[in-house]
Protein backbone atom coordinates (compact mmCIF):
# COMPACT_ATOMS: atom_id res chain seq x y z
CA UNK A 1 0.00 0.00 0.00
CA UNK A 2 1.31 3.46 -0.87
CA UNK A 3 1.55 5.87 2.06
CA UNK A 4 -0.45 9.00 1.50
CA UNK A 5 1.57 12.14 1.67
CA UNK A 6 -0.94 14.78 2.67
CA UNK A 7 0.07 18.34 2.01
CA UNK A 8 -1.79 21.01 3.97
CA UNK A 9 -1.65 24.75 3.81
CA UNK A 10 -0.88 26.29 7.17
CA UNK A 11 -1.39 29.98 7.93
CA UNK A 12 2.12 30.81 6.61
CA UNK A 13 1.29 28.93 3.36
CA UNK A 14 4.07 26.38 3.93
CA UNK A 15 3.67 22.83 2.66
CA UNK A 16 3.18 20.51 5.63
CA UNK A 17 3.62 16.79 5.44
CA UNK A 18 1.74 14.32 7.54
CA UNK A 19 3.70 11.20 8.40
CA UNK A 20 2.20 7.88 9.39
CA UNK A 21 3.90 6.47 12.47
CA UNK A 22 3.62 3.35 14.60
CA UNK A 23 4.00 4.06 18.29
CA UNK A 24 4.56 1.66 21.17
CA UNK A 25 1.17 2.06 22.84
CA UNK A 26 2.24 -0.06 25.81
CA UNK A 27 5.35 -2.07 26.59
CA UNK A 28 5.47 -5.70 25.46
CA UNK A 29 4.74 -8.36 28.04
CA UNK A 30 5.69 -11.71 26.55
CA UNK A 31 5.11 -12.09 22.80
CA UNK A 32 4.03 -8.82 21.11
CA UNK A 33 0.34 -8.34 20.31
CA UNK A 34 -1.55 -5.95 18.02
CA UNK A 35 -2.61 -3.94 21.07
CA UNK A 36 1.03 -3.02 21.79
CA UNK A 37 1.05 -0.85 18.67
CA UNK A 38 -0.92 2.20 17.57
CA UNK A 39 -0.93 3.85 14.13
CA UNK A 40 -0.81 7.63 14.41
CA UNK A 41 -0.44 10.65 12.17
CA UNK A 42 2.39 13.06 12.93
CA UNK A 43 2.72 16.50 11.38
CA UNK A 44 6.24 17.01 10.05
CA UNK A 45 7.61 20.57 10.29
CA UNK A 46 9.05 22.40 7.30
CA UNK A 47 12.77 21.45 7.07
CA UNK A 48 14.94 24.25 8.45
CA UNK A 49 18.50 25.11 7.44
CA UNK A 50 20.59 21.92 7.56
CA UNK A 51 17.51 19.69 7.54
CA UNK A 52 15.96 17.31 5.01
CA UNK A 53 12.57 15.68 4.49
CA UNK A 54 12.73 11.93 3.92
CA UNK A 55 10.21 9.54 2.42
CA UNK A 56 10.54 5.89 3.45
CA UNK A 57 10.86 3.24 0.73
CA UNK A 58 11.69 0.18 2.84
CA UNK A 59 11.60 -0.37 6.58
CA UNK A 60 13.38 -3.06 8.53
CA UNK A 61 11.88 -5.26 11.22
CA UNK A 62 14.61 -6.74 13.43
CA UNK A 63 14.80 -8.91 16.55
CA UNK A 64 16.68 -6.23 18.54
CA UNK A 65 13.55 -4.07 18.55
CA UNK A 66 12.00 -6.42 21.08
CA UNK A 67 14.68 -6.23 23.84
CA UNK A 68 15.66 -2.63 22.99
CA UNK A 69 12.08 -1.45 23.37
CA UNK A 70 12.40 -1.88 27.16
CA UNK A 71 15.75 -0.10 27.30
CA UNK A 72 15.29 2.67 24.77
CA UNK A 73 11.58 3.39 24.37
CA UNK A 74 8.82 4.98 26.37
CA UNK A 75 5.15 4.13 25.94
CA UNK A 76 3.69 6.51 23.37
CA UNK A 77 7.05 6.87 21.60
CA UNK A 78 7.61 5.99 17.94
CA UNK A 79 8.91 2.42 17.43
CA UNK A 80 12.68 2.38 16.87
CA UNK A 81 14.00 1.17 13.53
CA UNK A 82 15.96 1.75 10.37
CA UNK A 83 14.73 2.49 6.87
CA UNK A 84 15.91 3.16 3.34
CA UNK A 85 14.50 6.56 2.42
CA UNK A 86 14.63 9.09 -0.37
CA UNK A 87 15.41 12.75 0.25
CA UNK A 88 12.42 14.68 -1.12
CA UNK A 89 13.24 18.14 0.26
CA UNK A 90 16.68 19.35 1.28
CA UNK A 91 18.37 22.23 3.03
CA UNK A 92 21.50 20.15 3.62
CA UNK A 93 24.11 19.85 0.85
CA UNK A 94 25.34 16.51 2.24
CA UNK A 95 21.93 15.00 1.36
CA UNK A 96 20.63 16.50 -1.92
CA UNK A 97 17.10 15.89 -3.22
CA UNK A 98 16.80 12.46 -4.82
CA UNK A 99 19.62 10.78 -2.92
CA UNK A 100 18.94 7.66 -0.88
CA UNK A 101 19.91 7.14 2.73
CA UNK A 102 19.75 4.56 5.46
CA UNK A 103 18.31 6.32 8.48
CA UNK A 104 17.44 5.52 12.06
CA UNK A 105 14.08 7.25 11.66
CA UNK A 106 11.84 4.81 13.49
CA UNK A 107 8.58 3.41 12.10
CA UNK A 108 7.64 6.53 10.10
CA UNK A 109 6.71 7.14 6.48
CA UNK A 110 8.13 10.68 6.48
CA UNK A 111 10.79 12.24 8.65
CA UNK A 112 12.39 15.64 9.01
CA UNK A 113 16.03 15.07 9.95
CA UNK A 114 19.09 17.21 10.59
CA UNK A 115 21.23 14.40 9.17
CA UNK A 116 22.01 12.73 12.50
CA UNK A 117 21.96 8.96 12.08
CA UNK A 118 21.68 9.18 8.28
CA UNK A 119 24.13 7.38 6.01
CA UNK A 120 24.06 7.75 2.24
CA UNK A 121 23.90 4.53 0.27
CA UNK A 122 27.25 3.54 -1.28
CA UNK A 123 27.84 6.16 -3.99
CA UNK A 124 28.19 3.49 -6.69
CA UNK A 125 25.23 1.34 -5.58
CA UNK A 126 24.48 -0.70 -8.73
CA UNK A 127 21.10 -0.22 -10.39
CA UNK A 128 20.47 -3.98 -10.55
CA UNK A 129 20.92 -4.46 -6.80
CA UNK A 130 17.74 -3.69 -4.81
CA UNK A 131 18.24 -0.82 -2.37
CA UNK A 132 16.40 -2.83 0.28
CA UNK A 133 19.57 -4.90 0.67
CA UNK A 134 20.99 -1.90 2.52
CA UNK A 135 18.82 -3.14 5.40
CA UNK A 136 19.98 -6.74 4.98
CA UNK A 137 23.01 -8.51 3.55
CA UNK A 138 24.60 -5.21 2.44
CA UNK A 139 23.62 -3.47 5.64
CA UNK A 140 23.54 -4.02 9.38
CA UNK A 141 22.80 -7.80 9.37
CA UNK A 142 25.51 -8.44 6.74
CA UNK A 143 28.00 -6.43 8.79
CA UNK A 144 26.99 -8.38 11.90
CA UNK A 145 27.74 -11.62 10.09
CA UNK A 146 31.08 -10.39 8.75
CA UNK A 147 32.36 -8.84 11.99
CA UNK A 148 31.16 -11.80 14.07
CA UNK A 149 33.11 -14.18 11.85
CA UNK A 150 36.25 -12.12 11.32
CA UNK A 151 36.64 -9.95 14.40
CA UNK A 152 35.10 -12.18 17.07
CA UNK A 153 35.62 -15.76 15.90
CA UNK A 154 38.74 -15.22 13.80
CA UNK A 155 37.34 -17.84 11.41
CA UNK A 156 40.00 -19.85 9.56
CA UNK A 157 39.75 -22.02 6.44
CA UNK A 158 39.05 -25.58 7.51
CA UNK A 159 37.13 -24.61 10.66
CA UNK A 160 33.80 -26.31 11.27
CA UNK A 161 31.22 -23.64 12.11
CA UNK A 162 27.79 -24.03 13.68
CA UNK A 163 25.20 -21.28 13.16
CA UNK A 164 21.60 -21.21 14.40
CA UNK A 165 18.68 -19.11 13.11
CA UNK A 166 20.69 -19.99 10.01
CA UNK A 167 18.07 -19.12 7.38
CA UNK A 168 17.55 -15.58 8.69
CA UNK A 169 19.18 -12.30 7.73
CA UNK A 170 22.34 -12.71 9.81
CA UNK A 171 22.51 -16.52 9.75
CA UNK A 172 22.21 -16.92 5.98
CA UNK A 173 24.96 -14.34 5.45
CA UNK A 174 27.16 -15.99 8.10
CA UNK A 175 26.85 -19.28 6.25
CA UNK A 176 27.70 -17.88 2.84
CA UNK A 177 30.72 -15.92 4.08
CA UNK A 178 31.96 -18.99 5.93
CA UNK A 179 31.70 -20.97 2.68
CA UNK A 180 33.65 -18.27 0.82
CA UNK A 181 36.32 -18.66 3.51
CA UNK A 182 36.58 -22.41 3.02
CA UNK A 183 34.85 -23.64 6.16
CA UNK A 184 32.65 -26.63 6.87
CA UNK A 185 29.22 -25.43 7.79
CA UNK A 186 26.34 -26.74 9.91
CA UNK A 187 23.07 -24.79 10.17
CA UNK A 188 20.07 -25.13 12.44
CA UNK A 189 16.71 -23.66 11.50
CA UNK A 190 12.99 -23.93 12.18
CA UNK A 191 11.32 -25.49 9.10
CA UNK A 192 11.97 -27.98 6.33
CA UNK A 193 11.64 -25.24 3.70
CA UNK A 194 14.40 -23.36 5.50
CA UNK A 195 16.56 -26.49 5.62
CA UNK A 196 16.15 -26.78 1.84
CA UNK A 197 17.17 -23.12 1.48
CA UNK A 198 20.32 -23.73 3.55
CA UNK A 199 21.25 -26.66 1.29
CA UNK A 200 20.80 -24.35 -1.72
CA UNK A 201 23.21 -21.92 -0.09
CA UNK A 202 25.84 -24.66 0.21
CA UNK A 203 25.57 -25.59 3.89
CA UNK A 204 27.26 -28.98 4.37
CA UNK A 205 24.68 -30.02 6.95
CA UNK A 206 21.36 -28.47 7.96
CA UNK A 207 18.58 -29.66 10.23
CA UNK A 208 15.22 -28.56 11.58
CA UNK A 209 15.71 -28.06 15.31
CA UNK A 210 11.96 -28.28 15.92
CA UNK A 211 11.43 -31.73 14.42
CA UNK A 212 14.69 -33.54 15.29
CA UNK A 213 14.12 -36.09 18.02
CA UNK A 214 17.27 -35.01 19.86
CA UNK A 215 19.14 -31.74 19.33
CA UNK A 216 22.25 -33.26 20.87
CA UNK A 217 22.18 -36.17 18.43
CA UNK A 218 21.54 -33.84 15.48
CA UNK A 219 24.59 -31.74 16.42
CA UNK A 220 26.74 -34.82 16.98
CA UNK A 221 25.76 -36.46 13.73
CA UNK A 222 26.24 -33.23 11.72
CA UNK A 223 29.82 -32.97 13.01
CA UNK A 224 30.99 -36.04 14.97
CA UNK A 225 34.34 -34.36 15.75
CA UNK A 226 32.69 -31.27 17.23
CA UNK A 227 32.84 -27.59 16.29
CA UNK A 228 35.69 -25.11 16.17
CA UNK A 229 33.31 -22.14 16.05
CA UNK A 230 29.71 -21.40 17.01
CA UNK A 231 27.86 -18.29 15.78
CA UNK A 232 25.12 -18.07 18.41
CA UNK A 233 21.87 -16.28 17.55
CA UNK A 234 19.32 -18.14 19.65
CA UNK A 235 20.33 -18.69 23.32
CA UNK A 236 18.37 -20.74 25.84
CA UNK A 237 18.32 -24.54 25.63
CA UNK A 238 19.94 -24.56 22.16
CA UNK A 239 23.04 -22.91 23.58
CA UNK A 240 23.12 -25.28 26.56
CA UNK A 241 23.11 -28.29 24.23
CA UNK A 242 25.55 -26.80 21.71
CA UNK A 243 28.33 -25.71 24.08
CA UNK A 244 29.28 -29.30 25.08
CA UNK A 245 29.62 -30.10 21.34
CA UNK A 246 32.48 -27.62 20.96
CA UNK A 247 36.04 -28.79 20.39
CA UNK A 248 38.73 -27.90 22.90
CA UNK A 249 39.66 -24.21 22.55
CA UNK A 250 36.46 -23.63 20.58
CA UNK A 251 35.32 -20.04 19.95
CA UNK A 252 31.75 -18.80 20.40
CA UNK A 253 30.43 -15.48 19.06
CA UNK A 254 27.45 -14.43 21.15
CA UNK A 255 25.44 -12.44 18.64
CA UNK A 256 21.87 -12.89 19.83
CA UNK A 257 19.49 -14.84 22.02
CA UNK A 258 16.18 -14.61 20.19
CA UNK A 259 14.62 -17.56 22.05
CA UNK A 260 14.78 -15.45 25.22
CA UNK A 261 13.51 -12.09 23.97
CA UNK A 262 9.82 -12.68 24.69
CA UNK A 263 10.19 -14.37 28.04
CA UNK A 264 8.39 -13.06 31.06
CA UNK A 265 10.28 -15.36 33.45
CA UNK A 266 14.02 -15.63 32.68
CA UNK A 267 15.28 -19.13 31.86
CA UNK A 268 17.73 -20.74 34.25
CA UNK A 269 20.63 -23.26 33.69
CA UNK A 270 22.11 -25.65 32.95
CA UNK A 271 25.11 -23.39 33.40
CA UNK A 272 28.09 -23.80 31.07
CA UNK A 273 30.95 -23.18 33.51
CA UNK A 274 32.48 -26.63 33.79
CA UNK A 275 32.25 -27.37 30.08
CA UNK A 276 33.76 -24.00 29.26
CA UNK A 277 36.58 -24.51 31.74
CA UNK A 278 37.45 -28.10 30.82
CA UNK A 279 37.23 -27.40 27.08
CA UNK A 280 38.93 -24.02 27.54
CA UNK A 281 36.31 -22.30 25.38
CA UNK A 282 36.22 -18.62 24.53
CA UNK A 283 32.85 -16.83 24.32
CA UNK A 284 32.50 -13.17 23.36
CA UNK A 285 29.39 -11.04 23.10
CA UNK A 286 29.42 -8.27 20.54
CA UNK A 287 27.43 -5.43 19.01
CA UNK A 288 27.83 -4.70 15.32
CA UNK A 289 28.40 -0.99 16.02
CA UNK A 290 31.81 -1.71 17.57
CA UNK A 291 33.42 -1.71 14.12
CA UNK A 292 31.45 1.18 12.59
CA UNK A 293 34.72 2.73 11.41
CA UNK A 294 35.14 -0.27 9.07
CA UNK A 295 31.62 -0.17 7.62
CA UNK A 296 32.35 1.43 4.25
CA UNK A 297 35.09 -1.05 3.40
CA UNK A 298 33.05 -3.98 4.75
CA UNK A 299 29.93 -2.96 2.79
CA UNK A 300 32.03 -2.81 -0.38
CA UNK A 301 33.25 -6.37 0.23
CA UNK A 302 29.67 -7.58 0.78
CA UNK A 303 28.55 -5.78 -2.39
CA UNK A 304 31.43 -7.33 -4.37
CA UNK A 305 30.41 -10.84 -3.19
CA UNK A 306 26.83 -10.07 -4.19
CA UNK A 307 27.89 -8.94 -7.67
CA UNK A 308 30.15 -11.97 -8.10
CA UNK A 309 27.17 -14.23 -7.34
CA UNK A 310 28.75 -15.51 -4.10
CA UNK A 311 26.14 -13.94 -1.82
CA UNK A 312 22.46 -14.76 -2.27
CA UNK A 313 20.33 -12.16 -0.56
CA UNK A 314 16.86 -13.59 -0.06
CA UNK A 315 14.20 -11.27 1.35
CA UNK A 316 10.84 -11.82 2.99
CA UNK A 317 8.87 -8.77 1.88
CA UNK A 318 5.68 -7.49 3.52
CA UNK A 319 3.79 -4.87 1.55
CA UNK A 320 2.42 -1.74 3.22
CA UNK A 321 3.33 0.43 6.18
CA UNK A 322 0.06 -0.59 7.84
CA UNK A 323 1.49 -4.10 8.17
CA UNK A 324 4.62 -3.20 10.18
CA UNK A 325 3.45 -4.88 13.42
CA UNK A 326 2.40 -8.03 11.54
CA UNK A 327 5.78 -8.15 9.79
CA UNK A 328 7.60 -7.68 13.10
CA UNK A 329 5.61 -10.38 14.89
CA UNK A 330 5.89 -12.72 11.88
CA UNK A 331 9.68 -12.37 11.93
CA UNK A 332 9.79 -13.17 15.66
CA UNK A 333 7.70 -16.28 14.91
CA UNK A 334 10.08 -17.39 12.18
CA UNK A 335 7.92 -16.65 9.10
CA UNK A 336 10.87 -15.18 7.23
CA UNK A 337 13.43 -16.87 5.02
CA UNK A 338 16.18 -14.28 4.62
CA UNK A 339 15.77 -10.67 5.67
CA UNK A 340 12.33 -9.48 6.81
CA UNK A 341 11.51 -6.07 5.37
CA UNK A 342 8.45 -3.91 4.72
CA UNK A 343 8.01 -2.11 1.41
CA UNK A 344 6.06 1.11 1.71
CA UNK A 345 6.46 3.08 -1.47
CA UNK A 346 5.34 2.40 -5.01
CA UNK A 347 8.74 3.68 -6.14
CA UNK A 348 10.35 0.83 -4.24
CA UNK A 349 8.77 -1.84 -6.48
Under the binding rule (CB under 6 A), the answer on residue 144 touching ligand NDP is: yes
Does 187 interact with ligand NDP (rule: CB under 6 A)? no
Helix, strand, coil percentages in the chain from 3-state DSSP, rounded to 5? 35, 30, 40
Q: Between vectors from CA 170 to CA 83 and to CA 55, what angle results, nearest 5°?
A: 5
Q: Which position among 132, 160, 223, 336 is part of the footprint of ligand NDP (CB under 6 A)? A: 336
Q: For the window 193-232, what string marks contact with ligand NDP as x by the rule CB under 6 A?
A: -x--------------------------------------
Q: How far is CA 99 from CA 102, 230, 349, in A?
A: 10, 39, 17
Q: Does 3 bind ligand NDP (CB under 6 A)?
A: no
Contact between 218 and 207 under an 8 Å Cβ cutoff? The reply is yes
Q: Given the rule CB under 6 A, which of 15-23, 42-50, 105-113, 331-339 is the region that contacts ligand NDP?
A: 331-339
Neighbours of 1 (CB within 10 A): 12
Rounded Cα gap, residues 160 and 178, in angstroms: 9
Applying CB under 6 A, the span of 151-159, 165-173, 243-251, 263-271 interacting with ligand NDP comes to 165-173
Binding to ligand NDP in span 251-290, by CB under 6 A = 255-259, 286-288
- Spatial neighbors of 106 by CB under 8 A, at least 6 apart, are 21, 78, 79, 80, 81
For residue 95, what are the CA distances in angstroms to 5, 104, 213, 219, 348? Answer: 21, 15, 54, 49, 19
* Total number of residues that touch ligand NDP (CB under 6 A): 30
Q: Give yes or no for residue 64 binding ligand NDP (CB under 6 A).
A: yes
Of the candidate residues 3, 47, 139, 190, the single one contacting ligand NDP (CB under 6 A): 190
| Site residues (vs ligand NDP, CB under 6 A) | 62-64, 141, 144, 165, 167-171, 189-191, 194, 233-234, 255-259, 286-288, 331-332, 334, 336, 340
Amino acid sequence: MVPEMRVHSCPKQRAMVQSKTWVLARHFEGFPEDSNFELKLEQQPEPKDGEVLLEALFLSVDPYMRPFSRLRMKEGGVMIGTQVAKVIQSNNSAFPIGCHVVGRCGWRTHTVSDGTGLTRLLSDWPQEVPMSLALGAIGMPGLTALYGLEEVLGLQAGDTLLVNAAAGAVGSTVGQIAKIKGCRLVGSTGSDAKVAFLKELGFDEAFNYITVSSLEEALKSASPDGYHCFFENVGGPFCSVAIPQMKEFGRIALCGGISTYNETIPQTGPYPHLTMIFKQLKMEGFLVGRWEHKNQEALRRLMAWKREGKLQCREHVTQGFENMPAAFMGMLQGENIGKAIVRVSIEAI
